[in-house]
Chains A and B, each alone.
Chain A
């Protein structure tokens, strides 16, 4: 199944880095992506993109002579990664709201451990 291929694809650190970069941005061209991935050259990035695309981890869109890449929104691995990413982002969004609405740590009594779940 696709997951097996996906794990093979994820076995390489450069490919994981590419996915991390794409997970944070909607869509990047191969050239833009290369500027984020410093440790290998543009040709190597292209071949890694091919492996990721074959594994169903990323989607490719062509416009004229440019190719744009994004995380494949339909892949199960991507679902999991994206949801986890959203989970972390959601926690920061909640922290922002709490801070800006005036939550402070002063009101909490740390000496009474029974008050909160561990």
Chain B
């Protein structure tokens, strides 16, 4: 991808091998060399925590993958968040020491993202002659872990819709907003999408952002669709909530996880916002039916990085199962600490928000044996899904993040929206929403789906158990 190449260079009084060995070792050697990477091999997930907003701001996670490796002289990382780019670390012999160079790509989208974050107005380009649709997603903050493939998947859907004639002969144009996993910023970004001309916004953010943005845009006349798993409750004329419901996910997976655990005592843990709270409430209801008991409960703010006191509480509780209603980077961190502190030896874990991108950042060691439940996993059999995954890989390459229920949901939502818009008697959000509320479609990657009212999305659910490299998936009984 064309863009600026930023370079930095430094001479180090140590041989290349010693410099190279520092990468990923976590020795306090600067934010690039302190990359989090379980195994330095081609294809491994790498996270760089870049202090883009200074020492006082929360670091921005650059989510990438090792694309090339030649010890001791070259490490190449490709990344998809917050922008698509490539970072090369080059180490050469120079005298008695080494010359170390970093070459980082910054494309137009990356520059736009950085500019917006600093409060500058940046044009989205010419939208005249298009049917603009907003995508409100999380390119930064804890939710960027699960949201990472959504922009790619949305672009794939838009390409297919446009190849099929667009909407009433007009090509769809995607306009992307980043909530930074922050409802305040999410509301501002949603307004920006509206001002850019979007009359429909697809959201793959947390419910904290969606509910806030939906409220702020209540008089805007804009159709907002929450595509990802959510708790429902705010569907209406111009608000459609697709996705899995917590109660359905729990009903599908509670039995299998208790069987695997050999016990029925649950500790409920999750982030402190609306979706995890509803997950816990649903769990109490489902467990009451299935002879499970609750031995403890805790909520932690989104962005928590040290779960030690909570994990000690879980270990003391005597729980057999942990319901982990954390999301994104919080789920990653919590599960890694659970492994390190011995929770895996005592408990099985059900995490309704575990998906492919989150699993690979939790890592094989900490994720193996965790349970999830959703309407889609990349491993699902079937021609429609095979074709979908193949197209995704053709467009974005082998190092792009894996697709998941969360990202695939936006693919389906865009196609459903296009079907509804073609069928609507007029080109207005209200007329399109009316069609969308009763649309059905067969042979999506996840199977047959049907929308039944503003907050019911009928689909099959699958229970998945994490294993090294992916999930073992079975249809919920």
Footprint of B on A, CB under 8 Å? 1, 3-4, 7, 10-11, 13, 16, 19-20, 23-24, 76-77, 79-81, 83-85, 87-96, 98-100, 103-105, 107-108, 110-118
> B29 touching A95 by the CB < 8 A rule?
yes
Complex contacts, A91 vs chain B, CB 8 Å: 8, 30-33, 102
> B6 touching A114 by the CB < 8 A rule?
no
Total residue contacts A-B, CB cutoff 8 A: 170
Complex contacts, A103 vs chain B, CB 8 Å: 22, 27-29
- Tell me whether B47 is interfacial, beta carbon within 8 Å: yes
Judged by DSSP, the binding face of B is mixed
Between A and B, 5 residue pairs with Cβ closer than 8 Å are A1-B121, A87-B52, A113-B336, A114-B336, A114-B340
CB within 8 A of A107: which of B9, B24, B27, B32?
B27
Which of A1, A98, A107, A115 has the largest count of B CB atoms less than 10 A from its CB? A98
Q: A118-B362, A118-B363 are in contact. List 16 more A-B contacts (CB 8 A).
A: A3-B115, A3-B123, A16-B3, A19-B4, A83-B52, A84-B52, A85-B6, A85-B8, A87-B51, A91-B8, A94-B28, A95-B100, A98-B22, A99-B13, A117-B49, A118-B333
B30's nearest neighbour on chain A, judged by CB, is A94
CA distance A1 to B115 in the complex (A): 13
Complex contacts, B31 vs chain A, CB 8 Å: 87, 91, 94
Interface residues in B1-57 (C-beta closer than 8 Å to A): 2-14, 18-19, 21-22, 24-33, 36, 38-39, 45, 47, 49-52
- Tell me whether B122 is interfacial, beta carbon within 8 Å: yes
> B4 touching A81 by the CB < 8 A rule?
yes
Chain B, residues 76-107, CB within 8 Å of chain A (1/0): the string is 00000000000000000000000010101010
Minimum CB–CB distance for A9 against chain B, Å: 11
Minimum CB–CB distance for B54 against chain A, Å: 9
Complex contacts, A105 vs chain B, CB 8 Å: 21-22, 25, 27
CA distance A36 to B47 in the complex (A): 34
- Tell me whether B67 is interfacial, beta carbon within 8 Å: no
Which of A24, A77, A79, A92 has the largest count of B CB atoms less than 10 A from its CB? A92
> B14 touching A100 by the CB < 8 A rule?
yes
**Taking A108-B27, A110-B38 as contacts, is the C-beta distance between A92 and B121 under 8 angstroms?**
no
- Tell me whether B165 is interfacial, beta carbon within 8 Å: no
Q: List 10 A-B pairs, minimum CB-CB distance, nearest first.
A: A114-B340, A94-B30, A91-B30, A98-B29, A105-B25, A92-B10, A105-B21, A91-B32, A89-B8, A88-B8
> B36 touching A118 by the CB < 8 A rule?
yes
- Tell me whether B111 is interfacial, beta carbon within 8 Å: yes
CA distance A94 to B82 in the complex (A): 23
> A117 touching B8 by the CB < 8 A rule?
no
> B52 touching A92 by the CB < 8 A rule?
no
> A3 touching B4 by the CB < 8 A rule?
no
Minimum CB–CB distance for B475 against chain A, Å: 31
Complex contacts, B118 vs chain A, CB 8 Å: 76, 79-80
CB within 8 A of A20: which of B6, B49, B333?
B6
> A115 touching B2 by the CB < 8 A rule?
no
- Tell me whether B329 is interfacial, beta carbon within 8 Å: yes
**Taking A90-B30, A107-B27 as contacts, is the C-beta distance between A80 and B36 under 8 angstroms?**
no
Minimum CB–CB distance for B128 against chain A, Å: 15
**Taking A1-B121, A90-B30 as contacts, is the C-beta distance between A108 and B13 under 8 angstroms?**
no
CA distance A115 to B363 in the complex (A): 13
Which of B29, B39, B333, B363 has the largest count of A CB atoms less than 10 A from its CB? B29
